[in-house]
Chain A
Amino acid sequence: MDGVRIEHGTASFFEDRQRTTLGRLADALIPAGDGMPSASQAGVAGRWLDEVIRLRPDFGPALAGILERYAAIDAEMAITDLQTSDPGGFFVLTEVVAGGYFLNPQVRQAIGYPGQQSVPIVPEQPPDYERDGLLAPVVVRGPIYRPAPGSPSASRKTGV
């Protein structure tokens, strides 16, 4: 399967040369800067690649093909070419790179993203938009719907 071995139907193991290529491409997509590590520094071609492919084994074959195709091509040229010639492949590459990057807990902490958190709804009575009058202008303006001929709403435009 184009250099990617699928074991037990889920885990995949890319070879060093493929990881090297991925690291080059990944760093062109996410370079170091603004106090943030590059993609390869964050482990996108290392442990997070394994984790991404474990979670998304469907990405494996397409990724392997991309890494083969661009093994000896300048990273920025490769990305430009992939984006224009194979948008589906470009999506896979960017999901693998950014997906792996944002799995790294240190990256998540650095960007201030704790994940999709559970934030229970606290009932407010009255709610803020009634308490501070935010909704009042809408109510004062009155009904905006168009009455429909032949239906009672035509003669019953009473709004709120």
Chain B
Amino acid sequence: MPENGFDRTPDVLVVGAGASGAVASKRLAEEGFDVVCLEQGGWPDYSRARAPYADFELTSGRDWSWDPNIRQAPADYPVDDTESDITALMWNGVGGGTVVYAAHWQRNLPSDFRVRTLDGVADDWPFTYEDLEPYYVRVEKDWGVSGLAGDTAFPKGEGPPLPPAPLSAMGRRVAKAHNDLGWHWWPGPNAIATRAYGRLNPCTQRATCLWGCVEGAKASVDRTYWPVAVDRGVQLLTGARVKRLLLDSRGLVGGALYVDREGSEHEQRAAVTILCCNGVGTPRLLLLSAGGRHPDGLANSSGLVGKRLMMHPFGTVVGLFDEDLQSWQGVWGQHLHSLEFYETDTARGFVRGAKWGLQPTGGPLSMTRSYPWGTENPIWGPGFHRDLRKRLGRSAMWGIIAEDLPEEENRVVLDPVKTDGDGLPAARIRYRMSENSRRLMAFHQERARESLEAAGAYETVIAPFIRATGWHLLGTAVMGEEPARSVVGPWGRTHDVANLYIFDGSIWPTSAGMNPTATIAAVALRCTEHLIEERREQRTGL
């Protein structure tokens, strides 16, 4: 065996250039591995980020839509969501979901890794918070995370490298209210640079993070990881859509067949393949790779590929204040977060919990929309100017990330009818919110209302439930020790195929109630380090 990499070239094929693909590619390249990454989309075009212009709110949905069914870009594949309570949101391109995420950087808590043990539901993870903690610390430095060490909701440990964003006027109000209530709050951890850091510029608080960060301050992996990875020799092929994985006679993966934007097919060979395509794209590709010895999809002897889809029901509660809070400005991002009601209390009538993040509410056009304000609170007509003045700059909102539990009926399958632009079967998702999720959300919305009222809100609005909140796609290639009950092992290697790995959010046994990027990145790094350490034992394809 050579000192670096495997005995074949290229050593590793990574499919997907989002968070987990970036972490794996960069780290492998640092260790001398020869890495190729196939990404179906292109680089984000930040010339279309309109934050400094008057048309920002009007055009943001045009170029930065989170929904592939609305965007319908060449890199997108349809996701039939007609049987789903929540629609799947994603960004298919270099950077993946981090291009359009809100950059709330939340580690999971120790209890998130022990759900079965503590609450008697779902499954434990095959490792602990403490196992993952060193990897959180490392990716937070690579990412350029801002926040404050010592958060009492987490075990003691090293904090992020940058100081937190300002609390803002709304944050101070809510913080004081939580002190009065005896509730937890802490300055918000964000993957947003508050000072110049590496390739990131300092944030200027335009509150446009979800629609193309024009400043280059939000840590999306197209900015933080990929330039470094490419410098280190990773070959990143954009516009390369994988049609299926290639199997050799020994049942190992020898790489992938992909199609470029001109419609030409290519074989990309590699010794080891890592899937990083998100909780919809990864099971879709495994199912697309069904063949003679794998009629139900590759790595699917457990029958669990595509099942246990978790998407985090999302709630919003808005408060109206009689003070000018300039609440269209700030990080977006979160000014502060609260984990007061995160841990299970069975007296509430449900298990598990949710994280709250305090956010701006946007500019004037956002004040007119039915979300979060509700169609029952129309702004239109004689009260328009009065209501606009009530809302604009004088409102704050809690975003609530609710943990949903894995259920096999919630799943991703191949669409028997629809196809993408290359003729490949589209994805179809089925997701129903459980009774536990409904109770959990109702409880948290009421507590969030109390929070804002304690902060002085003279009126609160619980946003209507909308479907377009499936930013977090988790659980569809579950990780575990037992091959009969999981798709991959504790290090992301599929039980069925010795040189096929999955590092994205698909492998989460449970969803936690946190924004998932921090843990997706940390798990990807942990799995990558193990792959590097064990390279001499690794069976390889070709």
User: Could you tell me the distance between the alpha carbons of A86 and B382 in the complex, rounded to whole angstroms?
Assistant: 22
Contacts of B364 in A (CB 8 A): 98, 102, 108, 111, 113
B343 to chain A, nearest CB (A): 4
Contacts of A144 in B (CB 8 A): 152-153, 184, 339-340, 343
**A6 at the A/B interface (Cβ < 8 Å)?**
no
B151 to chain A, nearest CB (A): 8
Given known pairs A134-B172, A156-B155, the reply for A31 and B382 (CB within 8 Å) is yes
Contacts of B204 in A (CB 8 A): 118-121
Q: B110 to A145, Cβ gap below 8 A?
A: yes
Q: B384 to A29, Cβ gap below 8 A?
A: yes
A residues 123-160 with Cβ under 8 Å of B? 123-124, 127-129, 134-135, 137-139, 141-154, 156-160
Given known pairs A99-B57, A118-B206, the reply for A153 and B380 (CB within 8 Å) is no
**A16 at the A/B interface (Cβ < 8 Å)?**
no
**B377 at the A/B interface (Cβ < 8 Å)?**
no
Q: B117 to A150, Cβ gap below 8 A?
A: yes
**A9 at the A/B interface (Cβ < 8 Å)?**
no
Q: B118 to A149, Cβ gap below 8 A?
A: yes
Q: B155 to A145, Cβ gap below 8 A?
A: yes
**B259 at the A/B interface (Cβ < 8 Å)?**
no
User: Could you tell me the distance between the alpha carbons of A105 and B182 in the complex, rounded to whole angstroms?
Assistant: 45
Given known pairs A102-B57, A138-B185, the reply for A113 and B205 (CB within 8 Å) is no
A148 to chain B, nearest CB (A): 4
Binds A, one of B2-10, B97-105, B386-394, B530-538: B386-394
**CB closest chain-B residue, reference A84:** B375
Given known pairs A113-B363, A116-B56, the reply for A148 and B386 (CB within 8 Å) is no
**CB closest chain-A residue, reference B193:** A121
Q: B111 to A146, Cβ gap below 8 A?
A: yes
User: Could you tell me the distance between the alpha carbons of A102 and B392 in the complex, rounded to whole angstroms?
Assistant: 12
**B129 at the A/B interface (Cβ < 8 Å)?**
yes
Contacts of B186 in A (CB 8 A): 135, 138
Q: B176 to A134, Cβ gap below 8 A?
A: yes
Q: B202 to A153, Cβ gap below 8 A?
A: no
Q: Which of A98, A112, A142 has the most CB of B within 10 A?
A: A98
**A78 at the A/B interface (Cβ < 8 Å)?**
no
Residue among B128, B167, B369 making CB contact with A148, cutoff 8 Å: B128
Q: B384 to A115, Cβ gap below 8 A?
A: no
User: Could you tell me the distance between the alpha carbons of A72 and B55 in the complex, rounded to whole angstroms?
Assistant: 31
User: Could you tell me the distance between the alpha carbons of A108 and B151 in the complex, rounded to whole angstroms?
Assistant: 40
Given known pairs A134-B172, A146-B118, A151-B110, the reply for A29 and B58 (CB within 8 Å) is no
**A55 at the A/B interface (Cβ < 8 Å)?**
yes
Contacts of B165 in A (CB 8 A): 121
**B441 at the A/B interface (Cβ < 8 Å)?**
no
Chain B interface residue count, CB cutoff 8 Å, equals 75
**A30 at the A/B interface (Cβ < 8 Å)?**
yes
Q: B380 to A55, Cβ gap below 8 A?
A: no
User: Could you tell me the distance between the alpha carbons of A64 and B178 in the complex, rounded to whole angstroms?
Assistant: 50
User: Could you tell me the distance between the alpha carbons of A105 and B54 in the complex, rounded to whole angstroms?
Assistant: 9
**CB closest chain-A residue, reference B345:** A146
User: Could you tell me the distance between the alpha carbons of A117 and B370 in the complex, rounded to whole angstroms?
Assistant: 25
Contacts of B203 in A (CB 8 A): 121
Q: B365 to A102, Cβ gap below 8 A?
A: yes
A69 to chain B, nearest CB (A): 18
Q: A158 to B55, Cβ gap below 8 A?
A: no
Given known pairs A30-B384, A148-B118, the reply for A55 and B62 (CB within 8 Å) is yes
Residue among B51, B58, B150 making CB contact with A99, cutoff 8 Å: B58
Q: A146 to B172, Cβ gap below 8 A?
A: no
User: Could you tell me the distance between the alpha carbons of A138 and B176 in the complex, rounded to whole angstroms?
Assistant: 10
Q: B182 to A141, Cβ gap below 8 A?
A: yes
Given known pairs A99-B57, A138-B184, the reply for A160 and B130 (CB within 8 Å) is no
Contacts of A157 in B (CB 8 A): 155
Sample (5) of A-B pairs whose CB atoms are under 8 Å apart: A102-B57, A118-B52, A120-B204, A135-B186, A151-B129
Chain A residues with CB under 8 Å of chain B are: 28-31, 33-36, 51-52, 55-56, 58, 76, 79, 83, 91, 94-95, 98-99, 102-103, 105, 108, 111-113, 115-121, 123-124, 127-129, 134-135, 137-139, 141-154, 156-160
9 closest A-B pairs by beta carbon, nearest first, are: A151-B128, A148-B110, A34-B385, A118-B204, A148-B114, A160-B150, A99-B58, A116-B206, A119-B205
Q: A99-B57, A121-B205, A150-B128 provided; 5 other pairs, C-beta below 8 A?
A: A115-B56, A121-B166, A121-B204, A138-B152, A145-B339
